[in-house]
Structure 1
Amino acid sequence: MSAAEHTQKLEVVEICAGAGGQSFGLHRAGFTHRLAVELDTHAAHTLEQNLRRVLKEDGVDVPADLVKVGDVASPATWDPDSYKHVALLAGGVPCPPFSIAGKQLGSSDERDLFAWAIELCGRMKPKALLLENVRGLSTKRFSGYRQAVLDKLHDLGYIAFWKVLQASDYGVPQLRPRFVLVALLPEYAGYFSWPQKSAEQRTVGDVLSDLMGENGWPAEDVEKWVAGAQSIAPTIVGGSKKHGGADLGPTRAKKAWEALGVDAMGVANNAPDKDFKPREGATGPKLTTEMVARIQGWDGEFADWKFLGRKTSIYRQIGNAFPPPVAKALGEAIRDALLKKGTPRPLIETSSTVHDPVYKLLRRQSRPLTVEQIITRLAQVGVSMEEPEVERHLNHLGHDFELEKTARKTGELAYSLGQFKAFVGQDDHQRHDLFTQHRTRIS
Structure 2
Amino acid sequence: MDAVTAGPDRRKDDYTVVEICAGAGGQALGLEKAGFAHELAVELDENAANTLWQNRPSWDIRTGDVASAGVWNPADFAEVSLLAGGVPCPPFSIAGRQLGASDERDLFAWAVEQVAIVKPRALMLENVRGLSQPRFAAYRQRVLDRLAALGYEPFWKLLHAADYGVPQLRPRFVLVALKPEDARYFSWPEPVEHTPTVGDELFDLMAANGWKHAETWRKMANDIAPTIVGGSKKHGGADLGPTRAKAAWRLLGVDGKGIANEAPAKDSPHPSALPPRLTIEMVRRIQGWRDEDGWEFSGRKTSQYRQIGNAFPPPVAEAVGRSIVRAFDRVEVSNSETAKADDPLFSLLNRHTEGVSETLIFAELPELTPSTLAKRLAKLELDFEVEATEVNGETVHRLGDFRGFVGQDAHFRHEYISEHRSKVS
Regarding TM over 0.5, the answer is yes
Q: Following superposition of structure 1 onto structure 2, how do residues 182-261 of structure 1 map, counting pairs within 5 Å?
A: 182-218=176-212, 221-261=213-253
Is 1:405 aligned with 2:378?
no
Q: Following superposition of structure 1 onto structure 2, how do residues 89-238 of structure 1 map, counting pairs within 5 Å?
A: 89-218=83-212, 221-238=213-230
**CA shift for structure 1 position 437:** 1.6
- Could you say which residue in structure 1 is the equivalent of 2:3? none
User: What do the CA deviations read for 1:296-322 (whole angstroms, capped 9, x no partner)?
Assistant: 0112654x2111221111101101100
- Per the alignment, in what secondary structure is the counterpart of residue 90 of structure 2? coil
**CA shift for structure 1 position 238:** 3.2
User: What do the CA deviations read for 1:306-364 (whole angstroms, capped 9, x no partner)?
Assistant: 1122111110110110000000000000011011112585x8675xx342111111111
- Could you say which residue in structure 2 is the equivalent of 1:56? none
Q: Give the Cα separation in 1 of the matches to 2:238 and 2:338.
A: 45
Is 1:394 aligned with 2:388?
no
Given that 2:156 and 2:338 are in contact with CA atoms closer than 8 Å, whether structure 1 keeps it comes out as: no
Query: What amino acid is the match of 1:372?
Result: T
Is 1:271 aligned with 2:276?
no
Given that 1:371 and 1:390 are in contact with CA atoms closer than 8 Å, whether structure 2 keeps it comes out as: no
Is 1:362 aligned with 2:349?
yes
- Could you say which residue in structure 2 is the equivalent of 1:32? 37
Query: What amino acid is the match of 1:424?
Result: V
Which one of the candidate residues 428, 434, 439 is aligned to 2:410? 428
**CA shift for structure 1 position 389:** 4.0
- Could you say which residue in structure 2 is the equivalent of 1:58? none
**CA shift for structure 1 position 5:** 6.5
Q: Give the Cα separation in 2 of the matches to 1:268 and 1:287.
A: 6
Q: Give the Cα separation in 2 of the matches to 1:83 and 1:94.
A: 22
Q: Give the Cα separation in 2 of the matches to 1:5 and 1:311.
A: 32
CA RMSD across the alignment: 2.0
- Could you say which residue in structure 2 is the equivalent of 1:59? none
- Per the alignment, in what secondary structure is the counterpart of residue 232 of structure 1? coil
Which one of the candidate residues 314, 328, 347 is aligned to 1:338? 328
Given that 1:239 and 1:317 are in contact with CA atoms closer than 8 Å, whether structure 2 keeps it comes out as: no
Q: Give the Cα separation in 2 of the matches to 1:395 and 1:237.
A: 29
- Per the alignment, in what secondary structure is the counterpart of residue 273 of structure 1? coil
- Could you say which residue in structure 1 is the equivalent of 2:15? 10
- Per the alignment, in what secondary structure is the counterpart of residue 210 of structure 2? coil
Given that 2:144 and 2:341 are in contact with CA atoms closer than 8 Å, whether structure 1 keeps it comes out as: no
Given that 1:9 and 1:32 are in contact with CA atoms closer than 8 Å, whether structure 2 keeps it comes out as: yes
Give aligned pairs, total. Answer: 420
Given that 2:186 and 2:333 are in contact with CA atoms closer than 8 Å, whether structure 1 keeps it comes out as: no
Q: TM-score, normalised by structure 1?
A: 0.90
- Per the alignment, in what secondary structure is the counterpart of residue 341 of structure 1? coil
Query: What amino acid is the match of 1:318?
Result: I
The gaps in structure 2 that reach 5 residues or longer are 1-5
Query: What amino acid is the match of 2:215?
Result: E
- Per the alignment, in what secondary structure is the counterpart of residue 97 of structure 1? helix
**CA shift for structure 1 position 173:** 0.5
Q: Give the Cα separation in 1 of the matches to 2:63 and 2:141.
A: 31
**CA shift for structure 1 position 102:** 2.2
User: What do the CA deviations read for 1:255-290 (whole angstroms, capped 9, x no partner)?
Assistant: 0011111011110001111132379x9641010011
Using the TM superposition, name which of 257-266 and 358-367 deviates more.
358-367
Q: Give the Cα separation in 2 of the matches to 1:215 and 1:344.
A: 49
**CA shift for structure 1 position 413:** 2.2
- Per the alignment, in what secondary structure is the counterpart of residue 285 of structure 1? coil
Given that 2:362 and 2:369 are in contact with CA atoms closer than 8 Å, whether structure 1 keeps it comes out as: yes
Q: Give the Cα separation in 2 of the matches to 1:369 and 1:391.
A: 14
- Could you say which residue in structure 2 is the equivalent of 1:290? 281
Given that 2:88 and 2:127 are in contact with CA atoms closer than 8 Å, whether structure 1 keeps it comes out as: yes
Is 1:320 aligned with 2:303?
no
**CA shift for structure 1 position 377:** 2.7
**CA shift for structure 1 position 141:** 1.2
Is 1:45 aligned with 2:50?
yes
Q: Give the Cα separation in 1 of the matches to 2:91 and 2:273.
A: 33
Q: Following superposition of structure 1 onto structure 2, how do residues 51-90 of structure 1 map, counting pairs within 5 Å?
A: 51-52=56-57, 62=58, 66-90=60-84
User: What do the CA deviations read for 1:142-168 (whole angstroms, capped 9, x no partner)?
Assistant: 111111111101111000011111111
Given that 1:258 and 1:283 are in contact with CA atoms closer than 8 Å, whether structure 2 keeps it comes out as: no
Using the TM superposition, name which of 253-262 and 369-378 deviates more.
369-378
The gaps in structure 1 that reach 5 residues or longer are 53-61
**CA shift for structure 1 position 32:** 0.4
- Per the alignment, in what secondary structure is the counterpart of residue 277 of structure 1? coil
User: What do the CA deviations read for 1:3-47 (whole angstroms, capped 9, x no partner)?
Assistant: 667321300000000000000000000000010000011001111
Query: What amino acid is the match of 2:406?
Result: V
Over the matched positions of the two proteins, sequence identity in percent amounts to 56
Given that 2:280 and 2:305 are in contact with CA atoms closer than 8 Å, whether structure 1 keeps it comes out as: yes
Q: Give the Cα separation in 2 of the matches to 1:4 and 1:24.
A: 13
- Could you say which residue in structure 2 is the equivalent of 1:442? 424
Q: Give the Cα separation in 2 of the matches to 1:195 and 1:294.
A: 21
User: What do the CA deviations read for 1:162-206 (whole angstroms, capped 9, x no partner)?
Assistant: 111111111110011111000001110000000001111221111
Q: 1:278 to 1:124 in 2, by over 3 A?
A: same
Q: TM-score, normalised by structure 2?
A: 0.94
**CA shift for structure 1 position 109:** 1.4
Given that 2:353 and 2:399 are in contact with CA atoms closer than 8 Å, whether structure 1 keeps it comes out as: no
